[in-house]
């Protein structure tokens, strides 16, 4: 297959966005797009390139005093009748346009067109961010090649609609179980209905008042919600088991352990099993490189409502921010799209920052 990422396309971040969107890369199917990205990066003489699975890393080694990371995931959620891309006026529609191939396009454009940045730069184009963290390309690299992640500052090109989104929330999923006694529904008084017992779980969640926390001027809004209910055996049986899955999005001033303790406190008296947990990241705005990037953007940061891989860098002691052209409100939607103006504006900001031009 001819690589669609031609020199003409690489020179234009708008055309590059569309070319990346038109390479289908639903999670666990990133080989084709990773092959294309790797090929063009290996063609840039100023970059050294490594690959681990379907994660491609490229870096400059110019002897600069500081190193920054630009990172974006190559995978998308499943298609929703929105592939390949289409254009309507100043909007590009298609799966991954906002989350986050427009961000990938900015990084790839800079990687091949800026051979002499003022910092040394490490570029990551990684796999499987949209699914379980065991498959996440940065997670796998952190285990196998942690030295690749060494940096003084990191920028995740997640959709932020051109704003700087600082830090990120932590996230936790848990299963809350209720139990009862099975019986024939014609003689229901002989049983105890576990689904009915789950009503108290739902009432507590409905009455729950979430915290709003301001950290370094950024307001993080928490949320504790039921996201799935499973129970029932047959149409004529009183069920003896029911499960309510809850998702807790917590501010980064709480550790994962503190978040778990809070969930157990809210749901005291019920069996609670935490099935997945990832801590958040504090804003990290005081780092000198973060301040330089904020100056290039020229706008105040806001809190990141959601979890991103900035948390992975925070765990390593690397301050990190989110910045990308996509609109996070459109991520994963069937009408997902990105505005051409946001792509061009984002490219200009990054070039100004990387080159100090």
Rounded-to-integer distance, Cα 86 and Cα 279, Å: 37
Task: Based on the fold, state whether residues 233 and 293 are members of the same structural domain.
Answer: no
Query: What is the pLDDT, as a whole number, of residue 133?
Result: 85
Catalytic residue among 99, 104, 129, 158: 129
Task: Based on the fold, state whether residues 125 and 270 are members of the same structural domain.
Answer: no
Query: What is the pLDDT, as a whole number, of residue 284?
Result: 86
Is 80 exceeded by the pLDDT of residue 192? yes
End-of-domain residue from the set 259, 278, 297: 278
Question: Which token pair is 212?
Answer: 């709003």
Rounded-to-integer distance, Cα 82 and Cα 237, Å: 43
Q: Which residue has the tokens 């929703």?
A: 80
| Predicted confidence (pLDDT) per residue in 22-66, tens digit | 999 999 999 999 999 999 999 999 999 999 999 999 999 999 999
Specify the pTM. Answer: 0.90
| Predicted confidence (pLDDT) per residue in 134-185, tens digit | 899 999 999 999 999 999 999 999 999 999 999 999 999 999 999 999 999 9
Catalytic residue among 30, 38, 75, 104: 75
Query: What is the pLDDT, as a whole number, of residue 357?
Result: 58
Other beta carbons within 10 Å of 59: 21
Task: Based on the fold, state whether residues 237 and 334 are members of the same structural domain.
Answer: no
Rounded-to-integer distance, Cα 122 and Cα 137, Å: 15
- Would you say 185 and 315 are in contact if contact means Cβ atoms under 8 Å apart? no
Give the range of the structural domain holding residue 127, as residue numbers without chain letter: 7-168+281-355
In the sheet that 67-73 helps form, which strands lie side by side, from edge to edge?
48-52, 55-59, 120-126, 67-73, 153-156, 320-322, 165-166, 302-303
Task: Based on the fold, state whether residues 95 and 22 are members of the same structural domain.
Answer: yes
Question: Which token pair is 76?
Answer: 């998308």
Give the mean pLDDT of the chain.
96
Residue 129 among the catalytic residues = yes
Residue 75 among the catalytic residues = yes
Is 90 exceeded by the pLDDT of residue 356? no
Task: Based on the fold, state whether residues 184 and 240 are members of the same structural domain.
Answer: yes
Rounded-to-integer distance, Cα 301 and Cα 252, Å: 16
Q: Which residues sit opposite 307 in a β-bridge?
A: none
Is 70 exceeded by the pLDDT of residue 254? yes
Task: Based on the fold, state whether residues 176 and 324 are members of the same structural domain.
Answer: no
Q: Which residue has the tokens 């690589």?
A: 3
What is the mean pLDDT of the segment spanning 323-351?
Answer: 97
Name the burial class of residue 301, with classes exposed (0-12), middle (13-18) and buried (19+) by CB atoms within 10 angstroms of its CB: buried
End-of-domain residue from the set 210, 243, 278: 278
Task: Based on the fold, state whether residues 253 and 286 are members of the same structural domain.
Answer: no
């Amino acid at each position: 297959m001819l690589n669609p990422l031609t020199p003409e396309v690489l020179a234009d971040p708008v055309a590059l966005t569309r070319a990346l969107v038109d390479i289908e890369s639903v999670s666990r199917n990133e080989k084709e797009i990773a092959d294309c990205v790797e090929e063009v990066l290996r063609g840039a003489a100023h970059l050294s390139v490594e690959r681990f699975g379907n994660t491609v890393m490229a870096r400059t080694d110019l002897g600069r005093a500081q190193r920054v990371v630009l990172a974006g995931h190559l995978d998308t959620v499943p298609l929703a009748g929105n592939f390949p891309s289409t254009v309507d006026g100043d909007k590009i529609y298609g799966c991954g346009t906002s989350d986050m191939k427009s961000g990938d396009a900015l990084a790839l454009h800079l990687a091949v067109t800026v051979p002499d940045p003022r910092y040394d730069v490490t570029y990551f184009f990684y796999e499987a961010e949209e699914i379980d963290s065991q498959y996440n390309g940065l997670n796998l690299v952190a285990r196998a090649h942690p030295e690749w992640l060494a940096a003084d500052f990191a920028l995740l090109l997640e959709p932020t609609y051109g704003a700087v989104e600082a830090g990120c929330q932590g996230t936790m999923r848990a299963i809350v179980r209720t139990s009862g006694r099975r019986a024939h529904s014609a003689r229901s008084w002989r049983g105890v209905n576990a689904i009915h017992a789950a009503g108290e779980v739902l009432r507590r969640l409905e009455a729950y008042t979430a915290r709003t926390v301001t950290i370094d001027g950024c307001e993080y809004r928490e949320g504790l919600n039921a996201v799935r209910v499973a129970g029932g055996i047959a149409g004529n049986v009183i069920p003896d088991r029911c499960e309510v899955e809850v998702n807790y999005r917590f501010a980064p001033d709480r550790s994962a352990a503190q978040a778990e303790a809070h969930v157990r406190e809210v749901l005291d008296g019920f069996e609670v099993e935490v099935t997945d947990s990832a801590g958040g990241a504090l804003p990290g705005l005081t780092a000198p490189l973060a301040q330089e990037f904020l100056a290039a953007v020229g706008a105040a940061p806001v809190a990141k409502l959601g979890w991103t891989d900035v948390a992975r860098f925070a765990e390593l002691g690397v301050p990190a921010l989110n910045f990308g052209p996509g609109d996070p409100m459109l991520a994963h939607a069937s009408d997902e799209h990105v505005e051409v103006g946001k792509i061009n504006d984002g490219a200009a900001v990054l070039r100004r920052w990387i080159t100090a031009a």
